[in-house]
């Protein structure tokens, strides 16, 4: 029978586990579809569970003191936040696309607090965000995101390069993400622009017509129909953005 008093703990393995837990925990805190919608205890348990296999395949030198250990933990937290921000930026494309539709369709006045993002958002923006979240889980995108993040332990190991490359990658993708949001919302925005054009011609041809009242109801109805027609295209957009986010973050 093994004497428990003689059992020893591999200090290097323990440090690797702690550092991996910090990186994974910070990533889960910010990256959708996890983030704030998952309780902190669940995120913590998930971080520890994912850190166990990574600690055994990554090597790290023992810090010489508590200051070096704290610096290493901050470095891992920075990597987790940077990669989480990249995923957040890609998934936020749907929120931005919804904001374009809200502005064009006159829904911006009904902005409400969005618990998923922690900010105010109009109805279409919130609907697009929630629909994208549902589609990510329904299509297994959350598994793809976690798998892609775990590959960062190969490209940026526990004792790896600085996070400057990740920061530059996030900056380089901002313009592309804005363009992607515009492409998703463009068909609906274009239809609403045509409605605005028709209403302008009607107001010019028949000044006595109450275009303001008619136009608001007409734009709302057309926007709802256009959104309903575009919903079947969203799963493909979600898959494309999840794949792009995994490629960028890993």
Domain membership flag for residue 114:
yes
Domain membership flag for residue 1:
no
Instruction: Give the mean model confidence (pLDDT) for residues 238-247.
Output: 75
The pair of structure tokens assigned to 233 is 């295209």
**Taking the complete model, does pTM exceed 0.95, yes or no?**
no
Give the domain range for residue 120: 9-249
Residue 112: partners with Cβ closer than 8 Å, 6 or more residues away? 120, 121, 122, 123, 126
Helical H segments across 31-163, by residue range: 40-57, 66-91, 93-105, 123-138, 141-150, 152-155
Q: How many domains, in total, are found in the chain? A: 1
Domain membership flag for residue 183:
yes
Helix, coil or strand: residue 106:
coil
Q: Is 210 exposed, middle or buried (0-12, 13-18, 19+ CB in 10 A)?
A: exposed
Domain membership flag for residue 2:
no
pLDDT for position 120: 67
Quote the percentage of the chain above a pLDDT of 90.
0
* Higher pLDDT, residue 59 or 145: 145
Domain membership flag for residue 4:
no
Domain membership flag for residue 99:
yes
pLDDT for position 165: 59
- Of the candidates 228, 215, 218, 216, the residue with the CA atom closest to the CA atom of residue 188: 228
Reply yes or no on whether the pLDDT at 28 is more than 80: yes
pLDDT, one tens digit per residue, over 103-155 is 777 777 666 655 555 566 678 888 888 888 888 888 787 888 888 788 777 76
Reply yes or no on whether the pLDDT at 4 is more than 50: no
Instruction: Give the mean model confidence (pLDDT) for residues 41-63.
Output: 80
Domain membership flag for residue 3:
no
Q: Do residues 128 and 233 touch, judged by C-beta distance below 8 A?
A: no
């Amino acid at each position: 029978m093994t004497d428990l008093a003689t059992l020893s703990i591999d200090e290097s393995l323990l440090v690797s586990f702690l550092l991996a837990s910090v990186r994974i925990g910070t990533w889960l805190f910010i990256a959708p579809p996890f983030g704030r919608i998952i309780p902190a205890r669940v995120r913590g348990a998930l971080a520890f569970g994912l850190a166990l296999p990574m600690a055994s395949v990554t090597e790290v030198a023992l810090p010489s003191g508590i200051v070096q250990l704290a610096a290493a933990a901050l470095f891992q937290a920075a990597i987790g936040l940077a990669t989480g921000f990249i995923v957040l930026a890609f998934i936020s494309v749907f929120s931005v696309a919804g904001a374009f539709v809200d502005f064009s369709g006159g829904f911006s006045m009904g902005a409400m607090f969005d618990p998923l993002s922690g900010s105010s958002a109009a109805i279409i923006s919130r609907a697009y965000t929630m629909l994208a979240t549902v589609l990510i889980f329904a299509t297994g995108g959350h598994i793809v995101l976690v798998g892609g993040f775990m590959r960062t332990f190969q490209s940026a190991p526990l004792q790896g390069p600085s996070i400057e490359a990740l920061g530059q990658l996030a900056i380089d993708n901002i313009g592309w993400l804005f363009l992607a949001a515009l492409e998703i919302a463009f068909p609906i925005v274009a239809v609403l622009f045509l409605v605005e054009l028709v209403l302008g011609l009607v107001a010019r041809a028949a000044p006595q017509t109450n275009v303001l009242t008619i136009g608001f109801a007409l734009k709302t109805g057309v926007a709802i129909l256009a959104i309903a027609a575009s919903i079947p295209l969203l799963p493909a957009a979600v898959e494309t953005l999840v794949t792009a986010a995994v490629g960028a973050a890993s």
